[in-house]
Amino acid sequence: MLCITSNNVNPWFNLAAEEYLLKESAEDIFMLWQSEPSVIVGKHQNTLAEINYNYIKKNKIKVARRLSGGGTVYHDRGNLNFTFILNEMEGRLINFHRYMEPVLKALQGLSIDACFEGRNNMVINNMKISGNAEHIYKKRVLHHGTLLFNTDIDKLTESLKVAPCRYTGKAVQSTRSVVTNIRNYLQQDIDILEFRDILFNHIFENNHDSTIYELGRKDVDRINALVGSKYSTWEWIYGYSPKYSLNGIYRTGRREVQFTIFVETGIIREMEIKGAGINGRRLSDLLNLFRGMAHRESDLMKKTGMVSELLLISEAEACEFISSMF
In degrees and rounded to multiples of 5, residue 75 shows phi and psi of -120, 145
Annotate 163-197 with DSSP letters as a single string: -TTSEEESS--PPP--B--GGGG-SS---HHHHHH
Q: Apex CA 142: angle with CA 138 and CA 143, to 5°?
A: 145
Residue pLDDT tens, the chain, 326 long: 999 999 999 999 999 999 999 999 999 999 999 999 999 999 999 999 999 999 999 999 999 999 999 999 999 999 999 999 999 866 666 778 888 999 999 999 999 999 999 888 999 999 999 999 999 999 999 999 999 999 999 999 999 999 888 999 988 888 888 999 999 999 999 999 999 999 999 999 998 899 999 999 999 999 999 999 999 999 999 999 999 999 999 887 777 889 999 999 999 999 998 876 677 888 889 889 999 999 999 999 999 999 999 988 899 999 999 999 99
Work out the number of other CB atoms within 10 angstroms of the CB of residue 212. 10
Q: Which residues pair with 275 in a beta bridge?
A: 257
Structure confidence at residue 155 (pLDDT): 97
Structure confidence at residue 91 (pLDDT): 60
Pairing assessment for the beta strands 73-75 and 114-117 based on DSSP bridges = unpaired
Cα–Cα dist 64/47, whole Å: 9
CA-nearest of 11, 17, 16 to 214 is 17
Up-side HSE of residue 268: CA atoms within 13 Å toward CB? 23
Annotate 209-278 with DSSP letters as a single string: T-EE----HHHHHHHHHHIIIIIT-HIIIIITSPPEEEEEEEE-SS-EEEEEEEEETTEEEEEEEEETT-
Amino acid at 228: G
Amino acid at 198: I
Per-residue CA distances from 90 to 29, 94, 253 (Å): 19, 9, 63
DSSP designation for 289: H
Q: In order of start, what are the domains of the chain with their CATH numbers?
A: 2-239 (3.30.930.10), 244-323 (3.30.390.50)
Cα–Cα dist 258/266, whole Å: 21
CB-based contact 47:233 (threshold 8 Å): no
Which are the contacts of 70, defined by CB distance < 8 A and separation ≥ 6?
A: 42, 120, 131, 132, 133, 172
CA torsion sign for 273, 319, 45, 131 is negative
CA-nearest of 73, 41, 297 to 171 is 41
Per-residue CA distances from 311 to 201, 288, 296, 297 (Å): 63, 14, 20, 18
Whole-structure pTM value: 0.94
